[in-house]
Chain A
Amino acid sequence: MTRRYRTLLGILLGLVGSASGPTQAKPAPAPAAPAAPAIERVADIRARLQAHDAALRPVDGTTPPEAQVAQWFNWPNWANWSNWNNWNNWNNWLKWGKY
């Protein structure tokens, strides 16, 4: 039998085999490793947030209106880029506020 006929026979046998009986169950894929909790990637997430902020930061230190609401996590309009305490002092009470 030439190599050509052996190949053809192999293909035919394979086809017959696959059509005539239950295929052998594939082994279940190994369970994916659970994603690490986001808290373990906090440094990376923070760096990405800072890069996002930097891309939006205008020269005059204020957030342009369209950037305030483009994403839920953007700086709100009362925040001043150049003055952290402006945010800090925005509302002292609500920071603790209880029932």
Chain B
Amino acid sequence: MPVLEQVLRGPITRRAASTNSLPRALPAGQLSLLILQASPFCNLDCRYCYLPDRDDARRMPLELLDRVMAQVMASGLPGPELSIVWHAGEPMAVPRGWYEAAFATVASHAARAGSTRVTHHFQTNAVLIDGAWCDFFRRHGVRVGISVDGPAALHNAHRRTRDGRGTHARVMQGITQLQAAGLPFQAIAVLTRDALGQADAVYDFFAGLGAQQVGFNVEEVEAAHGQSSLQAGADRPDAEAALRAFWAQFLQRLRAEPGRLRVRELQAVLAALRHPAFGQLTGNAQNQPGRMLNVAFNGDWCFWSPELMGAHHPQRGPVVMGNLAQGSLPLAAPPAGPTVPAVPTAAAQPLWAAWQQEIDAGVAACHTGCRYFDFCLGGAPANKLAELGQVGGTETLACRLGQQVVVDAVLASLDGQLPPLR
């Protein structure tokens, strides 16, 4: 993960706070990202997709959404800004009418709570965007992210319909609709092995796309996607060297045209370096409790990486901390913690806290052993579970390819460009 970016937000948690002897209390006011799965269904069948149930067209009942939002707002978890991301399935495969009702439900709970401003986000494959959807986006101030992998040949090799047809032309039509409506958008691309030798083509495509920013995810081993093209095979090493070459060339192009393209991964490294508490942070939103909340269409929930929804732990079982159709969300500890004890004993420990202990052990090991810790802050439990079979492990392929390679490229470029200190 692209863990780099989201690690940087939220209140500063300084180092040396975290060991694993006691479970933590849930922090108040730190939830900033709520992932809601309107439906697990997706109208496409991308080769690298990690979602296990993308044939399942069931929808979150609006009554359940009402209950979820009531609990979220009453939990003390949300901070002043809450981004609701409709994801973990193709959000636009659910009718607009459902969202009209859903957004009204969200708005009513946010208004009642009063202290949290909600922004809606769609991460979409774009093939269903039309004028009516653009009107909906505008009316509700929805921030739109488009999944597109670059030039047609690269994109169509992986992002396909169920009957194997490439979707690039339809994605570009969707983008044209957004642009005609004057709506800004961002782009997210997956770097597969075949993209790595095409840095110039990928750069040219995104530099000309008109997106506010592009984010690159390396193709990860995750959940339902058990093999990545970036892994080593019998006849080839893993893609680290090729990825280093890709970023080196990409940075060359950026240097030549500063300001033309904003790249999430590069901005994230810069932001980390500029963070006032660089070197003192202890974790990120994907490995700390109460900063991201993921709710499936049926009410199952967990904290941490959204990709954990639907994943299984070899010993602990499904990554489900409870179900909001029947149970309730844990409450945040009120501010001014000294009077509020952490959950004291294993017997009284909620399920999430037991998982958190394993996650914390991994983050602590990362802190001790990895020189990139100050950039990634302990990585993503989803990658650790998928690659290492536990949420408490340390380095993964995703770490090396998605984090370390980018950090190295940015630092090397800065090292070559910035004058020495006087």
Contact = CB atoms under 8 A, between A and B. Distances in A.
A and B together in one complex: yes
Interface of A: 37-42, 44-53, 68-74, 76, 84, 87-89, 91-99
A37 B410 CA distance: 12
B258 A46 contact: no
B415 A94 contact: no
Interface string B285-309: 1100000100000000000001100
Interface of B: 2-3, 5-6, 8-10, 32-33, 46, 48-50, 81, 83, 85, 87, 119, 121, 123, 143, 145, 147, 186, 188, 190, 213, 215, 217, 251, 254-255, 258-259, 262, 264, 266-268, 270-271, 273-276, 278, 285-286, 292, 306-307, 371-372, 374, 404, 407-408, 410-415, 417-421
A95 B418 contact: no
Contacts of A46: 273, 278
Contacts of A87: 271
Interface of B is mostly: mixed
B259 A93 contact: no
Contacts of B410: 73
B123 A92 contact: no
Given A38-B415, A47-B421, A99 B121 contact: no
A51 B420 CA distance: 9
14 contacts: A40-B371, A48-B421, A68-B259, A84-B276, A88-B10, A91-B143, A92-B6, A92-B33, A93-B143, A94-B264, A95-B2, A96-B5, A96-B285, A98-B188
Contact of B419 (A48, A76, A96): A48
B421 A99 contact: no
A92 B32 contact: yes
B371 A92 contact: no
Given A45-B418, A48-B414, A95 B50 contact: no
B412 A38 contact: yes
Given A72-B254, A88-B9, A97 B274 contact: no
Nearest to B6: A95
A96 B274 contact: no
Contacts of B285: 95-96
A98 B217 contact: yes
Contacts of A49: 270, 273-274, 414, 418
Contact of B258 (A37, A45, A74): A74
Interface of A is mostly: helix
Given A39-B407, A70-B258, A93 B419 contact: no
Nearest to A70: B258
Nearest to B50: A99
A95 B5 contact: yes
Contacts of B10: 88
A42 B411 contact: yes
A74 B267 CA distance: 9
B83 A92 contact: yes
A73 B417 contact: yes
Contacts of A98: 2, 87, 123, 188, 217, 306-307
A11 to B, nearest CB: 45
A75 to B, nearest CB: 8
Q: Which has the most chain A C-beta neighbours within 10 Å: B188, B259, B278, B417?
A: B259
Nearest to B417: A71
Contact of A97 (B48, B145, B411): B145
B258 A96 contact: no
B81 to A, nearest CB: 6
A41 B415 contact: yes
A14 to B, nearest CB: 44
Nearest to A84: B276
